[in-house]
Amino acid sequence: MDTPYYKYHVFFCTNQRQDGRPCCQDNRAAEMRSYMKQKIKEAGHSGKGEIRVNTAGCLDRCDLGPVMVIYPQNIWYTYLDEEDIDEIINSLINEDVPVERLLLKE
Ligand code: FES
């Protein structure tokens, strides 16, 4: 298999619903996406062969949100705040084990 263009390609659902159903943007998803993107850039780990953070629409796991998914590893996370995002960033940069407590297992 070819080497992936990005080592970790992170997709944040930032979907906002107006009908009262749960959605990731109810939990500051766009703000957390920007926070992660900025932190990774500052750490010098963005771009080809490294980490890319993108916005996504609904990933259809709304009840477990807010959610992000990381490819090609197929790692799904939820998160609450900047501290959680920092932990996820550290595990990616250090190529560490995933942050167990934030993993979506269903
Ligand atoms: S609104 Fe985020 S997964 Fe559906």
For residue 36, how far is the Cα from the chain centroid? 8
C-alpha 23 – ligand 1 centre gap (Å): 5
Residues in the chain: 106
* Residue 62 near ligand 1, beta carbon < 6 Å: yes
The answer to whether the CB of 24 falls within 8 A of the CB of 65 is: yes
Q: What is the CATH number of domain 8-102?
A: 3.40.30.10
- How far apart (Å, rounded) are the C-alpha atoms in residues 22 and 91? 28
* Residue 24 near ligand 1, beta carbon < 6 Å: yes
The answer to whether the CB of 96 falls within 8 A of the CB of 90 is: yes
* Residue 58 near ligand 1, beta carbon < 6 Å: yes
- Domain borders along the chain are 8-102
Helix (H) or strand (E) holding 90: helix 82-93
Summarize pLDDT for 56-104 with one digit per residue, the tens.
999 999 999 999 999 999 999 999 999 999 999 999 999 889 999 999 9
Q: What is the pTM of this model?
A: 0.94
